[in-house]
Amino acid sequence: MNITRNNVDALNAIVTIELAKEDYQGNVDKVLSNYKKNANIPGFRKGAVPMSLIQKQYGKAVMFEEINKVLQDKLNNYLVEEKLDILGNPLPVANENFDWEADVLKFDFELGLAPEFTVELDTKNKVTKFQVVADDAMLDEQVEFVQKQYGKLIAKDSVEETSEMVGTFSNEEEGINYETKIPVSAFRTKTNQKKFINKKVGDQITVNTKGLFEDEHKLMDYLGVDHDKVHGLEADVIFTIKEINETEKAELNQELFDKLFGKDVVTSVEQLKEKIKEDAEKQFEGQADQKFLNDVYEHLLSTTKFDLPADFLKKWLETAGETKMTAEEAASEYEKSEKGLRYQLIEGKVMSQFDLQLNFEEIKAYTENLIKQQLAQFGQAEPDDKTVEDIVARVMSNQDEVKRISEQVMNDKMLALFKEKANVKTKEVSYKDFVKEMYGE
């Protein structure tokens, strides 16, 4: 057997494997011998079928199968030994005039090679790292939300300015059929608010989505509209009232503070706001970190230039899935997936270039911390070690969970690297402005 490689260019290569009969014939003879022992053919006793008949009936199929096994094994070993970083899978080169009777069989395989490139993190253009703060307006809203959440719900016969309604927004043409809870005050204009006043359960009110809320993104919350549809959506929707309620707000007293945070942890409205601010900004930090991570990758996608073996990948896509694609379908699929492939290659390069690795102890420690946080949410602030160990063992026995946690640990390593190495500028914003940065105006 002989294996050679011809590099067509930096991104494409042809690997040629030459097989002599001795490379596969022994396996073929062994399989045919087993067939002979177990064959049940009319007119012959079991095990007494002539080998010539076995050869005639099964010989070619067995030869093809055994040659394929040898080819796959030798090709995979060659790729590992040569440390070839390929994209997709090797593609056999078709040969209509292939001579299966030749003493030496020669097979060609196309390879798409991963491009060589480096990633520069300390670039001229700065990437913004947002620091989201809970401003006074938001804190006042959250205090009111807490009061309503722990307040007393009173059913009403008709809608008033301070009412909260439960109902369904619907528009068949736009695919909207979404049950929601919405206060009358959520509507941006008095004109739309007045449409609901004095209405009763079962009544239907038609409003237009254009300018319905102060922020178009509220269409996602109240109508279940996808983000890519919210901007400029102009459609009539029907709201069918199912419930009308009024909330009698809870008093801001020690009883409420204790219910929220435990006895005497918070003793004033000022401390309540401080606690809300602390918790909110901690939550915002995670969202801001994720946006920062995404923005760095978008920046790297635009500044890290490399070519891909596009023609090879399109050809590979034609046969890669369960259903074969046409050349046109494969080209369209490649166009849609090219950005994701570049993202994966850049991510892999960052990991290798900056030696970001995972080990079992890191994954286990992250899992333990995660379990303790979850138990704390259910009132077990200091769980015993045995309880935590048992839960961690169950989680770590689930491959899907280990994969998910591993990705999160690596995500955190990437984030720390980018914060350290990338050219970052920090900008302090309110949560409202941060949402605009996330989704646009």
95-147: per-residue pLDDT in tens?
Answer: 888 888 888 999 999 999 999 999 998 867 788 999 999 999 999 999 998 99
Residues 375-396 have a mean pLDDT of 84
Q: Is the pLDDT of residue 331 over 90?
A: yes
Note whether 241 and 340 are same-domain residues.
Answer: no
Residues 271-276 have a mean pLDDT of 94
What was the pLDDT predicted at 441? 54
Residues 6 or more apart whose CB falls under 8 angstroms from that of 379 comprise none
Note whether 179 and 234 are same-domain residues.
Answer: yes
Q: Is the pLDDT of residue 220 over 90?
A: yes
CATH number, domain with residue 226: 3.10.50.30
Note whether 294 and 432 are same-domain residues.
Answer: yes
Q: Is the pLDDT of residue 209 over 70?
A: yes
What was the pLDDT predicted at 247? 87
Domain stops at, among 89, 113, 137: 113
Q: How far apart are CA 68 and CA 81, in angstroms?
A: 20
Task: Give the three-state DSSP class for 278.
Answer: helix
348 part of a folded domain? yes
Note whether 104 and 63 are same-domain residues.
Answer: yes
121 part of a folded domain? no
Q: Is the pLDDT of residue 383 over 90?
A: no
**Counted domains in the chain:** 3
Note whether 292 and 391 are same-domain residues.
Answer: yes
Residue 312 contacts residue 88 (beta carbons within 8 Å)? yes
415 phi/psi in degrees, rounded to 5? -60, -45
pLDDT tens for each residue of 412-426? 999 999 999 988 899
Domain stops at, among 219, 248, 277: 248
Residues 55-79 have a mean pLDDT of 91
Domain stops at, among 213, 248, 283: 248
Note whether 408 and 292 are same-domain residues.
Answer: yes
Q: How far apart are CA 253 and CA 150, in angstroms?
A: 12
What was the pLDDT predicted at 91? 95
> Which amino acid is present at 391?
I
- List the domain range (segments joined by +) for residue 29: 2-113
DSSP label of 186:
G
Confidence of residue 309 (pLDDT cuts 50, 70, 90): very high
Note whether 69 and 35 are same-domain residues.
Answer: yes
Note whether 45 and 161 are same-domain residues.
Answer: no
Write the secondary structure of 392-423 as one string of H (helix), E (strand) and C (coil): HHHHHCCHHHHHHHHHHHHHHHHHHHHHHHCC
Q: How far apart are CA 19 and CA 67, in angstroms?
A: 8
Confidence of residue 82 (pLDDT cuts 50, 70, 90): very high
pTM exceeding the 0.75 threshold for the entire prediction:
no
Note whether 280 and 234 are same-domain residues.
Answer: no
Question: Pick from 186, 156, 154, 155: which is nearest to 169 by CA?
Answer: 186
Q: Is the pLDDT of residue 440 over 70?
A: no
Percent of the chain scoring above 70 in pLDDT? 99
Q: How far apart are CA 318 and CA 333, in angstroms?
A: 9
User: Hey, what are 408's tokens?
Assistant: 């999160």
Confidence of residue 45 (pLDDT cuts 50, 70, 90): confident
What was the pLDDT predicted at 161? 93
Note whether 355 and 428 are same-domain residues.
Answer: yes
Note whether 240 and 343 are same-domain residues.
Answer: no
Note whether 165 and 237 are same-domain residues.
Answer: yes
Q: How far apart are CA 19 and CA 13, in angstroms?
A: 20
Across the beta sheet with 12-20, what order do the strands follow?
Answer: 2-7, 12-20, 104-113, 86-92
Q: Is the pLDDT of residue 350 over 70?
A: yes
Q: How far apart are CA 287 and CA 434, in angstroms?
A: 10
Q: How far apart are CA 137 and CA 100, in angstroms?
A: 80
Residues 6 or more apart whose CB falls under 8 angstroms from that of 384 comprise none
pLDDT, averaged across the chain = 91
Residues 348-369 have a mean pLDDT of 93
What was the pLDDT predicted at 200? 96
